[in-house]
Chain A
Amino acid sequence: MAEILIVEDEPSINELIRRNLSLTGHHCTQVFDGCEAIEILGHRKFDLIILDIMLPGADGYEVFDQAHGIPVIFLTAKSELSDKLRGLTRGADDYITKPFQMLELAARVEIVLRRTKKSEKYFEMDHVKLDFESRRIFVDEKPVDCTPKEYELFETLVRNRNIALSRERLLDLVWGYDFEGGTRTVDVHIQRLRAKLGLDKQITTVYKLGYRLEAPL
């Protein structure tokens, strides 16, 4: 659960980012121009700023100067190298260019938060608890005996909770790109997780897409 400031002047995109980040439990504050962003940075602390570069009022770089050590992911429609370099040499943590995919945004946010030790240490849902540091799953406070792949699959579902992940994507994320087996492997592991954790209802099968862990927001 991180405090994230979204600075983006297009309402539709600002809203889109907020919705996406809220899915994984982050708390977002939306700001639509540069001056407003600088003002809010003056009296509130954030774990991460998602910052558009072309902003009315003050541009993204000016806002960045006021961030004072808060990690920043620049968001821009410009994909030119010079802009990337300019942002990164100033110490931005990452870059996302429009148009972007939901999973890409979630993954980048997660990586930056983990790097700055701002990511969550536990995940709790009903009777299930996940400890990210010891890499163990507890059901009713008792550790569950599961294989590393089962653990990784569940962690992936948790980190992308409320977002449907295709079997192929899960294969990539958990087993890696060079895995030879088919998507049936994913189905088998999902069945096992459902049984072991008693999450039949929460781990849903999404038509034509794959699986999704539905957790309360």
Chain B
Amino acid sequence: MKKKTFAATLVLFIVFINSGMLIVSLITWRESIAAEREKVLAEHFVISSGLIGDMQAVKNRGGDVEGSMAELMRTYSRYSQNRNNQLAVSCGSDWIYYAGEKAPEGDPESFWNQVDQSERLVFMQKKPSAGLCVYGRFPAPFQEYGLWYRADIEDTMGTWRIMKNMLFVISVALTFLFALFLVEFLDILFKPLREISAASRVIASGDYHTRLHVGGQDEIAVMAGNFNLMAEQVESHIQMLQDTADKKQRFVDNFAHELRTPLTAIYGYAEYLQRVPVTEKERFECTQFILSECSRLQNMAYQLLDLAALREVQMESCQAAELFRRVCEIMQVKAEKKGILLSCSCHQEKLAGNMELLITLLNNLVDNALKASSPGTDIRLEAKEADGKLILEVKDQGIGMTKEQMAHIKEAFYRVDKSRSREAGGAGLGLSICERIMQLHRGEMVFESHPGKGTTARLIFPI
């Protein structure tokens, strides 16, 4: 990119500076030629007028105009030759006089034919040196005659050539200077790009905290800003992945821990039965422990399977009233056994969801509430709409939870009261399953609890 910019800019510069120089030299050339032309024409006029006067005088005296031409021209010739100019006079188709050794090139008659009396022929001659030639016809009675005058402009051309070479040298020097400047300038211009590239490498190597310094308002600053935004996104995504991986790891750790207790018990009692002489009573007790630990493992396996199976659900329109009715039907017996009053309140609330899963979800929550409640208290199921969301509430007046317990309740295998949960055969996966079901419904499950006052579980569904 930098090389391309450099090459393109340099080529443009060379083209412009050289065309500039070319135009300057062309204009100078034309102007100096024009000045020379004026001068030559003026000189031609002076010489012609003088010569015509002289010729008139010779004719008036009755002399031979043609014969005395050399005599007439001498002064002019001397004057011109000093300046390396040439003079010639034509009459008809011949040069009747010329200064110097050679007659001018070209046919006098063709010159004569090309012009009439009022104008003069001006043309350039390159050989043997640069010269400007003028040919003009004389007025009557000397209309047969014409004067050819050639001014040497080698000096002027030389000056112009020197100037042209100078311009070329200057353009080359300028080009070099410009190239040097351009390299430095591009270096400064591309510095932010280099920084961005360095930062990307650092990020690619795993350090996601790297940010660019954003200064100014230009495109590069915007780009750096976007780059930082991208880095932030990447970092947060990586963090999210890390969190998910941590969560999975915690789950596996907890799972291993959870497996160890029943396994220890089963192994221990089996070993005990095998190695120790036991009475019938002892045998029953030991096998009872083995059986209950086995059923605990079985429970855990089923719940884990449930959790694993919860991938996709069929959504349908569910009536809150119907949902509550079915949950109460299932939980009523258990509640009555504990002496707890289970009540519902709802209107015409509807929600999109899977009925069976929602029943499982509410059963779990009501079951938890039952475990936390003491006889004579109430558990209330309530449905209501607020802020464009549907809220299902399970409210108990049980023992409640501390802040610390609340922080862990959604973790798999966490149990607020280990021993009671164990007696009830819980695996500590109930709320994990609830949370998963809520995720599938794109809803949210929040808890509000005060120790000694009770707990409210709130299920918030989008409508």
Contacts and interface: CB of A to CB of B under 8 A. Distances in A.
Given A9-B418, A16-B265, A16-B269, A77 B260 contact: yes
A99 B419 contact: no
B393 interface: no
B275 A99 contact: no
Contact of A209 (B261, B267, B272, B275): B275
A206 interface: yes
A16 B275 contact: no
B277 interface: yes
B283 interface: no
Contact of A56 (B260, B268, B419): B419
B268 A163 contact: no
B271 interface: yes
Contacts of A102: 268, 271-272, 275
Interface string B231-260: 000000000000000000000000001001
A15 interface: yes
B276 to A, nearest CB: 6
Contact of B272 (A20, A56, A99, A204): A20
Contact of A12 (B265, B271, B417): B265
Interface residues of B, number: 25
Contacts of A165: 275
B289 A16 contact: yes
B261 A13 contact: yes
Q: Contact size class for A?
A: 20 to 34
24 contacts: A9-B418, A10-B422, A12-B265, A13-B261, A13-B268, A16-B264, A16-B265, A16-B272, A19-B282, A20-B268, A32-B419, A56-B419, A98-B260, A98-B264, A99-B263, A99-B268, A102-B271, A102-B275, A162-B277, A163-B275, A164-B276, A165-B275, A209-B275, A212-B275
B276 A163 contact: yes
A78 B256 CA distance: 9
A101 interface: yes
Interface in A15-34: 15-16, 19-20, 23, 32
A10 B263 CA distance: 12
Interface in B407-421: 417-419
A101 B269 CA distance: 10
A166 B269 CA distance: 18
A212 B274 CA distance: 11
A123 interface: no
Contacts of A32: 419
A214 interface: yes
Interface string A58-96: 000000000000000000011000000000000000000
B292 interface: yes
A100 interface: yes
B152 interface: no
B396 interface: no
B275 A164 contact: yes
Contacts of A78: 257
Interface in A108-128: none
A207 to B, nearest CB: 10
Interface of B: 257, 260-265, 267-269, 271-272, 274-277, 282, 285, 289, 292-293, 417-419, 422
Given A9-B419, A10-B261, A77-B260, A16 B276 contact: no
Interface in A147-201: 162-165
Contacts of A164: 274-276
A16 to B, nearest CB: 4
A179 B455 CA distance: 65
B300 to A, nearest CB: 15
Given A12-B289, A77-B257, A99-B267, 6 more contacts: A10-B261, A11-B419, A13-B261, A15-B285, A162-B277, A164-B275
A206 B274 CA distance: 9
A163 B269 CA distance: 13
A9 B419 CA distance: 7
A13 B264 contact: yes
Contacts of B274: 164, 209
B26 to A, nearest CB: 89
Contacts of B271: 101-102
Contacts of B422: 10
Contact of A77 (B261, B277, B417): B261
B277 A16 contact: no
B297 to A, nearest CB: 12
Contact of B268 (A16, A23, A209): A16
Contacts of B275: 102, 163-165, 206, 209, 212
Contacts of B292: 12
Contacts of B264: 13, 16, 77, 98-100
Nearest to A210: B275
A100 B418 CA distance: 22
A165 B282 CA distance: 20
A83 B276 CA distance: 33
A16 B263 CA distance: 12
Q: Which 4 interchain pairs have the tightest Cβ spacing?
A: A99-B264, A164-B275, A12-B265, A98-B264
Contacts of B289: 12, 15-16
A10 B265 contact: yes
A212 B271 CA distance: 14
A15 B277 CA distance: 17
A22 to B, nearest CB: 10
Nearest to A19: B272
Contacts of B263: 98-99
Nearest to A163: B275
Contacts of B276: 19, 23, 162-164
A32 to B, nearest CB: 7
Given A77-B260, A98-B260, A12 B293 contact: yes
A206 B293 CA distance: 27
A102 B269 CA distance: 9
